[in-house]
Structure formats: structure tokens, C-alpha cells
């Protein structure tokens, strides 16, 4: 039977079970229309995953009923948002969006506290806010919120589900998009499903990967890499209480869900709808590379991992079309891109840009960064990067070894150097970072630290070295300046705008001391933030630049997602690129060095870019040459020539 007919049959089957009065409602009409258009593609995807199960039809009907429940419960303002987004489906590609990420408790104590800080977001120009996992978790073993005990409950220390709904509504009223996490690869071992599985309930045992047999575990392990090697060798944990092995890709208390079981898909789809109806506009899909497992493979980025996400997307498109997915796949660049698509994740973190920016800062040479923008920046139509400088996680050096090789860089040794540099072990390094998940077997390591500490501000402040401080402020501005102009949604890890430094207190906390990422999950310091109002302070110098950058980004349509044209020139330390708007081009130049660099206007003229430029961040005019201070970034706009015409060829 073809999918369209099949879908019709399921639709009729479900319709006959819906009470007549419900079927007369406008909601039903809306839902039915969407189903007619969108159910068949969903079924095709699900068939690929679960078509061989005997109860496939029942499963589909259950899903449709879940969806109807979701549509009925969807608040009216979100139904309106659905309509608005359907009219403007690529809203997230615009230059008018600037994001921020926070941990609710660390930023403002509670959800009400976050609501109270809406003016601060507005002051900075932020209109997309990622509230990091705020669900109920165990008090100690929670992986910073990523070990969820209950997706429908907010961590009681920060508020309630009603507070979250209120925050979402207030965000909506203020034109701010709410971003939440969907932690779908695993639950906490304290989740009700895991508890039931531990008590021998076969239905829930099937939600996870639980093995009696060590041999089977070993067989899987042979092909897997260790993600958190400091916590354990291999991807499985032995549970004394049940005397069995459980698949745990991350920490031992994070149990991987078994998506080969359609009941898991159904249960998680239900949780997803719940979050959609709480007001989520963008759902961050955590650790998606791992969601599908097959023996004899490395169980990362398998084709069916994509099918699972596409199926979730097709499902959400029927109930909550306003909601987009953001991919969090911090993997090889070839794989990162596979998750990006309007029918999968319209948005994706850009770990390569993040890593190569820091790489260029350490080497003072942007060639790898330039190459990664040149070869790996383009995305499919109607999708966008989410660019970031720092987040709550570590920095991993995820560039491709072949790319590096072609520039004469040996990947293995270069990563070693970068790790030495950012942990401050390298002589003369400006960075103050810590190693994360150092793997003695492979020599692998990642880096923790706040943006400011890694960029040299901590060193400058400790040594009271004014030049180091100035350079650090320039470096921070440079890194953020890139993500504000390259196209895609820039994300500010809140605290970076005032230069929050590493917080070493985590090492004295028994629940945190083994995870160095806590060093950069510092509490927002509101007293420090107040100093943004005092001219000349570090906070004011930095904050005012962030403000200027958000303002300028939003005002220039050239900075929306689109083509980036790399500018070729002969200055080793300068990265240059152009972004074209309809009538003019914006040219961004960044100096990756401790010295002043001068670029002749010839370099730009050769490419057809005018004579007179204005840096829109400082309003300086450049006529004969462009002089860049150490670590400076300029955003140049071509000025009108004296005859009043645009100087563009
Ligand atoms: C994500 O990160 C989260 O961002 C982390 O905070 C969590 O600890 C983790 O998942 C588990 O939920 O390894 O160092 O290659 O793609 O998913 C960060 C793995 C991580 C990454 C990423 C993971």
C-alpha cells in the first residue's frame, strides 16, 4: 500500500474514535488539515524504523491520538505563533536575532529571577534565550542538568512548571524566543522508567540497553570511543543492585534510551510535545549522534539516528510547527553537517568555527579558521548555524586532520600544542584553562575555562598588566565580532559580556570536583555587572562593545545567514571576509596578532571594494590604509563617495 493511502487509513481509524463534539471544533479542523498534508511523510520515516513490528498500526494510531491531545492543549498564543511562523518559516536566518545562554540558577537564582532580568537581555539586545536544562534531576548526580529525572517537572530549587510557562509567555510578549533542551539520548538512573526497569519491569527494561552478559558488552565496546574516559572505561556500567550491565555513553548514572523500541519513541515524543506546549520555540537536541546503536558499528551518527530525528521533526511539524530543532552534535565536521536540514534540524551548533577561532587565537595565524570558513560554512537552504564562542561544555579540537594536513599542520601534535596552550602549560601562554576528560590511553584532551580566562583577562588582572588586559578585551571582542558578522545566530554565554573569570570553587564541591567544566559555569556576578555603568572599568569597556555589536549586527542585513566571501590578501595575521547586502558590502577584518597590522586599501580595491570605509563599531574613517590595533576587529562599511554614489563596482 502506498504511504498516502496508508496514512488515510490510519487517519480514518483514529477519526472514528474521536468524540463528535471534538470533531466539530476549529482545532480539529486545523489538526486534520495538517494531518492530511503531513502524516504520510511521518509514517514513511517511522516505517523505516519500526515497520517490522507486529503492532505497527496500533503504534501509529496511538501517536496520532497523542498529537491530537497535544493540539488540544496547545495554548492559543502558541497557535498564533504557529501561524506567524508558517508565514515566515525562515525567521531564524535573519540578522535580527541575537542569542544568550544561561543556567537559570546561576544567572538569576530562579525562573522568576530570570523574568526580572528581561530588561538586562533587552539592554544587550538579546532576543533568543537558551535556558539550560532546568528539569528535575538528582541533587548530586545530574551532569549539570543533563541527567533528567522528570521532563515535566522543573528543578524545585528554581521554580515550577507554571513559572516556566509564565517565563515563556513573558519572553514571547517581549519578542524573545525560548530555547530549551531535549535530552533524548539518555535519562537519569533516577527517572521513573529507569527505576521500574531496575525493579524488573520488562516493559521498562526494554527502554534501555541492559545486558546480563559481559561478552555482549565487550563486543559492543570494541567499536566505541570513550566519551567521558575520566569517569569510566568503555560505554557500559555494571550495576551491583541488578547485577547487570547498562549502556551509559556519558556518566554511569545516565542511562541510554533504546530507540529500537517504538515505545521509547512514543514516550519521548509525548515529552517533547509537553515542552513544545510550555512555549519552546527552539528545541536543542542533546547528544544526537548517539541515539541509534547497532552491533559492530561505532554507534555514532548512524543513518537511523537521522531517521529518528527526522521522525521527531515530522511529528512536531504537525502539532507545533513553530518549533525548530537545533542540533548539538559536537563531532567531526563532516558529520555535524549531516544533521542540518529543514526536515531535521534547521539549526546547528558550529563547533568547528568555535574550535578554529580559539586555534587562531593561540597560533596568531587564522589560516585554519579561514580554510574552515571557506570550505565548511555553507549550509542547505533555509537552515542556519548557531555560532558560539563558549558554552557550558568543554572546547574540543574538532577540525578535520586532512584539512589541517593540507596547510602543513599535523593534527595530533597540533591538538597537543593547543591543549598545552590553553591549560597555560605552554610558556608565555595568555590562557588560564583546565584540562577536561584527559585520556591517558589516547593522549586526547579537551579544554575548560571561561571565555575571559582563556582569552587572557585572568592573567592580565592577576598580574595587573594593562596591556594584557587590553589585548584580552580585544580578543573577546574579536571572537564575538566574528560570530556576530559571519551569519547565523550568535550566542552569548552570559557573563562573557562582563568578562566573568574562572570560578575555582567547584574543586571543593564533592558533587562537582571531578568535572572541570564547572570552572566556567560561574555564577553571574551582578555587582560586577553593575560596573558596566562606570566608564573605564573592564566591565564597561567590554559591555559597551557587546552592546554596540548587537546593535550594529541587527541594523545590517548583510549579516544574516548567507554567503561569506573570504578576502584573499598577503597578511598572515589578518582574517578578512565580506558579507554582501543588496546594495553594498560589509567587510570584516580581524587582526590575530600582538602587533599593529596595516592593510593597504589596494588589497581591498583589487577585489572591487571601494575607497573609503567606516568602521561601524567605532565610527573611524579609513581612507588610505586600514590600521588594525593588536587583536582588533573592524566592521567596515563602504562610504558614499563625494558624488554621493555608493562606491561599489
Ligand atoms: C552534551 O555534550 C551536553 O552539552 C553535555 O553538557 C552533557 O554532559 C552531555 O551531552 C550528556 O548529556 O560530550 O562534552 O560528542 O556531542 O553531546 C560534551 C559529544 C559532550 C557531544 C555532546 C556532549
- In this predicted structure, what is the pLDDT of residue 581? 87
* Spacing, Cα 254 to ligand 1 middle (Å): 12
Global pTM?
Answer: 0.96
Out of 182, 224, 235, 250, mutate this one to test ligand 1's pocket (max ligand atoms within 8 Å of CB): namely 250
Among the listed residues 292, 371, 298, 285, the one whose alpha carbon sits nearest the alpha carbon of residue 336? 285
- In this predicted structure, what is the pLDDT of residue 638? 82
Q: Nearest 10 degrees: CA dihedral of 578, 582, 583, 588? A: -20
- pLDDT tens profile 460-475: 999 999 999 999 999 9
Pairing label, strands 244-247, 384-388: unpaired
Pocket flag, ligand 1, residue 229 (CB < 6 Å):
no
| Residue % of the chain over a pLDDT of 70 | 98
Q: Tell me the pLDDT band of 601, cut-offs 50, 70 and 90.
A: confident
The b-or-e profile of 134-170 (16+ CB within 10 A means b, else e) is bbbbbeebbbbbbbbbbbeebbeebbebebbbbbbbe
Average pLDDT over residues 248-261: 97
- For residue 436, give the C-alpha cell: 577536561
* Spacing, Cα 557 to ligand 1 middle (Å): 33
- In this predicted structure, what is the pLDDT of residue 649? 41
* Spacing, Cα 287 to ligand 1 middle (Å): 6
Residue positions annotated with a catalytic role:
286, 328
- For residue 629, give the C-alpha cell: 590595533
- For residue 392, give the C-alpha cell: 557550558
Pocket flag, ligand 1, residue 287 (CB < 6 Å):
yes
Kindly report the CA angle at 428 between 423 and 430, in degrees rounded to 5?
55
Q: What is the 3-state secondary structure (H, E, C) of 12-64?
A: HHHHCCCCHHHHCCHHHHHHHHHHHHHHHHHHHHHHHHHCCCCCHHHHHHHHH
Average pLDDT over residues 452-459: 98
Give the Å distances, CA to CA, from 587 to 140, 375, 542, 605. 48, 19, 22, 12
Q: Which atom of ligand 1 is nearest to the CA of 146?
A: 12
Other beta carbons within 10 Å of 351: 24
Q: Which atom of ligand 1 is nearest to the CA of 144?
A: 6
**Looking at the DSSP assignment, which residues form a beta bridge with residue 636?**
587, 615
Cβ proximity of 125 and 551 under 8 Å: yes
Pocket flag, ligand 1, residue 143 (CB < 6 Å):
yes
- In this predicted structure, what is the pLDDT of residue 624? 81
Average pLDDT over residues 353-378: 98
Q: Please state, in angstroms and rounded to a whole number, the distance separating the CA atoms of residues 181 and 166.
A: 18
Q: What is the 3-state secondary structure (H, E, C) of 221-285?
A: HCCCCCCCCCCCCCCEEEECCCCEEEECCCCCCEEEECCCCHHHHHHHHHHHHHHHHCCCCEEEE
- pLDDT tens profile 167-200: 999 999 999 999 999 999 999 999 999 999 999 9
Q: Which residues contact 320 (CB under 8 A, 6 or more apart)?
A: 70, 74, 78, 82, 273, 276, 277
Q: Which atom of ligand 1 is nearest to the CA of 145?
A: 6
Q: Tell me the pLDDT band of 612, cut-offs 50, 70 and 90.
A: confident
Q: From the DSSP assignment, how many helices (H) and strands (E) are in the chain?
A: 25, 25
Pocket flag, ligand 1, residue 329 (CB < 6 Å):
yes
- In this predicted structure, what is the pLDDT of residue 623? 87
Q: Which atom of ligand 1 is nearest to the CA of 328?
A: 16
Average pLDDT over residues 140-146: 96
Average pLDDT over residues 545-565: 97
Kind and range of the H or E run holding 598: strand 597-600
Cα 299 to its chain centre, rounded Å, is: 22
The pairs formed by 409-418 with CB atoms below 8 angstroms and a separation of 24 or more are: 409/368, 412/443, 414/359, 415/444, 415/445, 416/443, 417/362, 418/358, 418/359, 418/362, 418/447
Higher pLDDT, 230 or 262: 262
Out of 299, 335, 393, 397, mutate this one to test ligand 1's pocket (max ligand atoms within 8 Å of CB): namely 393
Q: Is the pLDDT of residue 645 over 90?
A: no
Q: Is the pLDDT of residue 640 over 60?
A: no
Q: Is the pLDDT of residue 647 over 80?
A: no
| Residue % of the chain over a pLDDT of 90 | 91
Give the Å distances, CA to CA, from 309 to 79, 80, 257. 23, 25, 14
Q: Please, what is the average pLDDT of the chain?
A: 95
Pocket flag, ligand 1, residue 331 (CB < 6 Å):
yes
* Spacing, Cα 250 to ligand 1 middle (Å): 8
* Spacing, Cα 6 to ligand 1 middle (Å): 38
Instruction: Name the residue with the closest Cα to ligand 1, atom 12.
Output: 146
Q: Please state, in angstroms and rounded to a whole number, the distance separating the CA atoms of residues 631 and 591.
A: 5
Q: Tell me the pLDDT band of 641, cut-offs 50, 70 and 90.
A: low
* Spacing, Cα 327 to ligand 1 middle (Å): 12
Instruction: Name the residue with the closest Cα to ligand 1, atom 23.
Output: 287
Out of 101, 191, 286, mutate this one to test ligand 1's pocket (max ligand atoms within 8 Å of CB): namely 286
3-class secondary-structure state, position 99: strand
Q: Please state, in angstroms and rounded to a whole number, the distance separating the CA atoms of residues 163 and 143.
A: 23
* Spacing, Cα 356 to ligand 1 middle (Å): 19
3-class secondary-structure state, position 600: strand
- In this predicted structure, what is the pLDDT of residue 604? 81
- For residue 248, give the C-alpha cell: 551509559
Cβ proximity of 595 and 630 under 8 Å: yes
- In this predicted structure, what is the pLDDT of residue 648? 47
Among the listed residues 481, 111, 426, 50, the one whose alpha carbon sits nearest the alpha carbon of residue 261? 50
- In this predicted structure, what is the pLDDT of residue 646? 54
Q: Which atom of ligand 1 is nearest to the CA of 391?
A: 4
Kindly report the CA angle at 452 between 448 and 458, in degrees rounded to 5?
95
Among the listed residues 276, 288, 327, 309, the one whose alpha carbon sits nearest the alpha carbon of residue 66? 276
Amino acid at each position: 500500500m502506498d504511504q498516502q493511502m496508508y496514512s488515510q487509513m490510519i487517519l480514518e481509524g483514529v477519526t472514528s474514535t474521536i468524540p463528535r463534539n471534538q470533531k466539530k471544533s476549529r482545532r480539529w479542523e486545523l489538526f486534520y488539515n495538517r494531518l492530511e498534508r503531513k502524516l504520510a511523510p511521518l509514517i514513511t520515516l517511522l516505517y523505516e524504523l519500526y515497520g517490522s513490528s507486529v503492532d505497527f498500526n496500533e503504534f501509529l494510531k496511538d501517536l496520532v491520538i497523542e498529537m491530537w491531545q497535544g493540539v488540544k492543549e496547545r495554548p492559543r498564543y502558541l497557535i498564533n505563533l504557529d501561524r506567524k511562523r508558517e508565514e515566515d518559516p525562515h525567521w531564524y536566518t535573519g540578522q535580527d536575532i541575537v542569542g544568550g545562554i544561561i543556567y537559570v540558577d546561576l544567572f538569576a537564582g530562579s525562573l522568576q529571577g530570570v523574568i526580572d532580568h528581561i530588561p538586562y537581555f533587552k539592554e544587550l539586545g538579546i532576543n533568543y534565550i537558551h535556558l539550560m536544562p532546568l528539569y528535575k534531576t538528582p541533587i548530586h548526580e545530574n551532569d549539570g542538568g543533563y541527567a533528567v529525572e522528570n521532563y515535566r517537572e522543573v528543578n524545585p530549587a528554581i521554580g515550577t512548571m507554571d513559572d516556566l510557562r509564565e517565563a515563556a509567555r513573558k519572553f514571547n510578549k517581549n519578542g524573545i524566543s525560548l530555547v530549551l533542551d531535549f535530552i533524548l539520548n539518555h535519562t537519569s538512573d533516577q527517572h521513573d522508567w529507569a527505576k521500574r526497569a531496575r525493579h524488573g519491569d520488562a516493559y521498562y527494561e526494554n527502554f534501555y540497553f541492559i545486558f546480563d552478559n559481559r561478552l555482549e558488552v565487550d563486543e559492543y565496546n570494541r567499536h566505541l570511543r570513550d566519551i567521558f574516559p575520566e569517569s569510566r572505561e568503555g560505554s557500559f556500567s555494571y550495576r551491583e543492585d541488578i547485577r547487570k550491565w547498562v549502556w551509559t555513553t556519558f556518566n554511569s548514572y545516565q542511562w541510554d534510551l533504546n530507540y529500537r523500541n517504538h515505545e521509547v519513541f512514543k514516550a519521548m515524543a509525548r515529552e517533547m510535545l509537553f515542552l513544545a506546549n510550555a512555549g519552546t520555540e527552539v528545541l536543542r537536541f542533546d547528544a544526537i549522534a548517539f541515539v541509534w546503536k547497532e552491533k559492530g558499528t561505532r554507534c555514532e551518527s548512524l543513518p537511523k539516528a537521522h531517521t529518528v530525528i527526522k521522525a521527531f521533526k515530522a511529528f512536531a511539524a504537525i502539532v507545533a510547527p513553530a518549533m525548530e530543532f537545533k542540533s548539538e552534535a559536537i563531532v567531526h565536521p563532516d558529520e555535524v553537517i549531516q544533521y542540518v536540514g529543514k526536515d531535521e534540524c534547521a539549526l546547528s551548533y558550529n563547533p568547528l568555527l568555535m574550535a578554529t577561532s580559539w586555534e587562531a587565537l593561540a597560533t596568531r595565524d587564522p589560516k585554519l579558521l579561514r580554510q574552515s570558513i571557506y570550505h565548511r560554512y555553507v549550509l542547505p537552504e533555509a537552515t542556519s548555524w548557531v555560532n558560539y564562542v563558549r558554552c557550558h561544555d568543554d572546547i574540543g579540537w574538532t577540525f578535520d586532520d586532512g584539512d589541517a594536513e593540507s596547510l602543513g599542520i599535523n593534527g595530533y601534535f597540533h591538538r597537543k600544542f593547543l591543549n598545552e596552550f590553553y591549560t597555560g602549560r605552554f610558556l608565555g601562554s595568555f590562557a588560564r584553562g583546565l584540562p577536561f576528560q584527559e585520556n591517558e590511553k589516547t593522549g586526547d584532551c579537551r579544554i575548560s575555562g571561561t571565555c575571559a580566562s582563556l582569552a587572557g583577562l585572568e592573567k592580565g588582572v592577576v598580574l595587573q598588566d594593562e596591556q594584557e588586559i587590553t589585548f584580552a578585551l580585544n580578543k573577546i571582542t574579536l571572537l564575538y565580532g566574528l560570530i556576530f558578522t559571519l551569519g547565523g545566530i550568535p550566542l552569548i554565554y552570559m557573563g562573557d559580556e562582563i568578562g566573568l573569570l574562572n570560578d575555582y570553587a567547584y574543586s571543593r564541591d564533592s558533587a562537582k570536583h571531578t568535572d572541570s567544566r564547572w570552572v566556567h559555569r560561574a555564577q553571574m556576578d551582578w555587582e560586577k555587572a553593575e560596573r558596566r555603568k562606570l566608564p573605564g572599568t573592564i566591565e564597561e569597556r567590554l559591555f559597551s562593545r557587546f552592546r554596540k555589536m548587537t546593535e550594529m549586527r541587527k541594523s545590517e542585513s548583510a549579516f544574516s545567514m548567507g554567503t561569506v566571501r573570504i578576502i584573499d590578501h598577503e597578511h598572515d595575521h589578518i582574517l578578512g571576509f565580506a558579507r554582501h547586502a543588496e546594495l553594498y558590502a560589509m567587510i570584516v577584518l580581524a587582526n590575530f596578532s600582538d602587533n599593529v597590522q596595516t592593510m593597504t586599501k589596494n588589497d581591498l580595491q583589487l577585489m572591487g571594494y571601494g575607497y573609503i570605509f567606516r568602521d561601524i563599531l567605532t565610527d573611524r574613517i579609513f581612507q588610505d590604509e586600514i590600521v588594525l590595533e593588536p587583536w582588533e576587529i573592524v566592521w567596515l562599511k563602504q562610504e558614499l563617495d563625494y558624488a554621493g554614489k555608493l562606491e561599489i563596482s
